[in-house]
Amino acid sequence: MVASTEVFDALKSIGLNLYERKIFVALLARGVATAAEVSEIAGVPRSRSYDILESLSDKGFVMVQPSKPIKYVALEPKEALEKTKQNLEKNHKEMVDRIEKMKNSPIVDELQGIYGRGLNLVEPTEMTGTLKGRYIIDRQLRSAFKAAKSQIDILTTEQGLSDLYSKHFRVLKKIARSGVKLRILSNTSDNTVANAFGEIAELKRLAEPAGRVAIIDGQSMLMSLTDDKDVHETQDIALWATSEHAVNSMANPLFTQLWGKAK
């Protein structure tokens, strides 16, 4: 029985590459097989089948039988998924522990020193580029917000303000309490969200949407190049620039003009 496209897509979503998917499904159908047998059934090059089967074994999808020749057995799917989940959780915890250990070690000080020396050689124009995908954009925003020292100006849409509330409100609230001034412009009609931001920022409303821009300390900016209503979040694109010239020639004039007109 050949698995459906939905099955292959689901296996892909949990980290199995094409050959791994083909061999696992073939092994499920065969029950037990040698590397040569399963490679023929799956249509995978025999030279690759050994590495793929070893990878599936490490991930918890396949069990190795120490026979001559070596044979492989596919684990029952529910058991395989549970084992894979446990492996991922274990690996994730180990990686987090390593990162935390590194953060508190002299290694980070050395890396920061290298970064600082390199940064002195970078021209402002080289700190400019595009970001694709809302997850990447939000991650950059969060980092920029946390680095703010005096002021953050945000121009956003109704949907943008809602996203800002769900993803960044706690960070912005903490920043505001530390003394950073927040100003927000939006065409939002959501009074709940607007009132929440009104407690930590000076918020003004626009009659119509006017884009999405965040200005950090008058020196850095993130400007959206797509409409959040017409684009999928994976295709959202924004311009990031750490350049006072770019901020003063592009973002600040727009924000200042709209701020003066807003209610």
Give pLDDT tens digits for 95-104: 999 999 988 8
* Domains of the chain in sequence order: 5-82 (1.10.10.10), 127-261 (3.30.870.10)
Give pLDDT tens digits for 94-151: 999 999 998 888 888 888 777 676 655 545 444 578 889 888 999 999 999 999 999 9
Give pLDDT tens digits for 19-52: 999 999 998 888 888 999 989 989 999 889 999 9
Please write down the long-range contacts of 136-144, taking CB distance under 8 Å and 24 or more positions apart: 137/222, 137/224, 137/236, 137/238, 138/163, 138/167, 138/168, 140/222, 140/238, 140/240, 141/168, 141/214, 141/222, 142/167, 142/168, 142/171, 144/214, 144/216, 144/220, 144/222
pTM of the predicted structure, to 2 decimals:
0.59
pLDDT at 196 over 80: yes
